[in-house]
Amino acid sequence: MQDRGRLGVLLVAPALAAVLVLFIYPLGYSLVTAFQAKGGGFTLGNFAKAFEFYSVDIGFTLVIIVVSTLLIALASVAIGGYLTLGENPLAVAVLRWLYRWPLFIPFVVAAQCMRTFLAKNGLMNNTFVSLGILDVDQTIGFLDWRGIIITFVWKQTPFVALLVAGAMASLDRSTIEAARNLGAGRLRILFEILVPQVMPTLVVGLILSFVTMMSVLSVPLMISGESPTMMTVDMAFRINNYGDYGTANALGFISYLMTATCAWFYLKRQIR
């Protein structure tokens, strides 16, 4: 038995070493650099500079990610709910076919799609004008922070909806039928019976989305490269234009804190 334990450790070791060298070490490096002055030694100057230059973008990053996460939650609960409670098999089949399209589409491609779709003279506004909903001079482009939110929600909803729909499908149908027999409406069944039971899955999906959106560079860069934009753009700018690792890592540290807060709320729920 002792040998089998040793064999297990031996088999896991190379993969663990890869994570240690190529992820944990650079992560530690970034934490140290965030608090390091140019000549070495401890400083909070990097953070002062980060807030001085980028406080607007830090705020916008938080707003963009939080609003996106809430919209993704709403949309994926709606989709999962309809797939579980929908009464018309054809409509359910159509939705099941339709909602998954953006699932594996890369962020760069999603950004390129939206870059031309949401522009002032893009396909979206053109369609509205053609249908007579808008006049040519009423159109507005969405290539700013709103465009980033739209792209994130478009790209991430299928992922969370897939998890949520899967969790809802594996629930015991008898409680749903019982509630239905007692005369509960579908909306009430969704929010009082289904959502509470799939909450853990929903939250895991949302946290993974939150972290993913936090580290995407291509979407903010391609949808709205100018301020107000996201911290990822600022980090890339500090590195590529100034080689300023101190400020970039300070911004990185702030983004770790944002995800850590999010994860902390989750863990607190789990323990309670």
Partner 1 sequence: MRAWIGRGIVFGLLAFIILGPLANLALWAAAEQWYFPHKLPVVYGTKFWEQVFKPRGDALVSLVTSVWIALATVAASLALAVPAGYALARLKLPWRTAILLAFLLPQAFPSLAVYINIARIFYEFRLNGTMTGVIMVHTVHGLVFAVWITAAAFAAVERDLELAARNLGASGLRTFLTVSLPLAAPGILASAIFVFLESLDEFTGTFFVGVPDVITLPLLMFTASIAGNYQIAAITALVLLVPSVVFMLIIERFLKADVLSKVGA
Residues 198-257 that bind partner 1 (CB under 8 A): 208, 211-212, 214-218, 221-222, 232, 235-236, 239, 245, 248-249, 251-253, 255-256
**Shortest distance, CB of residue 261 to partner 1, whole angstroms?**
13
Q: Which two tokens stand for residue 124?
A: 């979206």
Binding residue count for partner 1, defined by CB under 8 A: 80
**Shortest distance, CB of residue 42 to partner 1, whole angstroms?**
18
* Residues in contact with partner 1, shown as a per-residue x/- string from 43 to 82 under the rule CB under 8 A: ----------------------------------------
Residue from the set 77, 110, 198, 202 that interacts with partner 1 by CB under 8 A: 110
How many C-beta atoms surround the C-beta of residue 228 within 10 A? 17
Task: Tell me which residues in 133-192 interact with partner 1 (CB under 8 A).
Answer: 136, 154
178 versus 187: smaller Cβ distance to partner 1: 187
Residues with Cβ within 8 Å of residue 135, at least 6 apart in sequence: 129
Task: Tell me which residues in 87-106 interact with partner 1 (CB under 8 A).
Answer: 88, 91, 94-95, 98-106
**Shortest distance, CB of residue 10 to partner 1, whole angstroms?**
8
Q: Residue 218 and residue 163: Cα distance in Å, rounded?
A: 25
CB 209 within 8 A of CB 156: yes
15 versus 182: smaller Cβ distance to partner 1: 15
Q: Output the CA–CA distances (angstroms, integers) from residue 179 to 80, 171, 172, 187, 218, in the order listed.
A: 18, 14, 12, 11, 46
Residues with Cβ within 8 Å of residue 232, at least 6 apart in sequence: 61, 214, 215, 216, 217, 220, 221, 255
Strand partners, 36: 42
CB 31 within 8 A of CB 253: yes
42 versus 104: smaller Cβ distance to partner 1: 104
24 versus 199: smaller Cβ distance to partner 1: 24
Task: Tell me which residues in 124-143 interact with partner 1 (CB under 8 A).
Answer: 124, 126-127, 129-130, 136
Q: Sign of the CA dihedral 257, 261, 262, 264?
A: positive
Task: Tell me which residues in 12-31 interact with partner 1 (CB under 8 A).
Answer: 12, 14-16, 18-19, 22-27, 29-30
**Shortest distance, CB of residue 58 to partner 1, whole angstroms?**
13
Q: Residue 236 and residue 111: Cα distance in Å, rounded?
A: 17
6 versus 192: smaller Cβ distance to partner 1: 6
Element of type H or E holding 113: helix 107-117
Strand partners, 42: 36
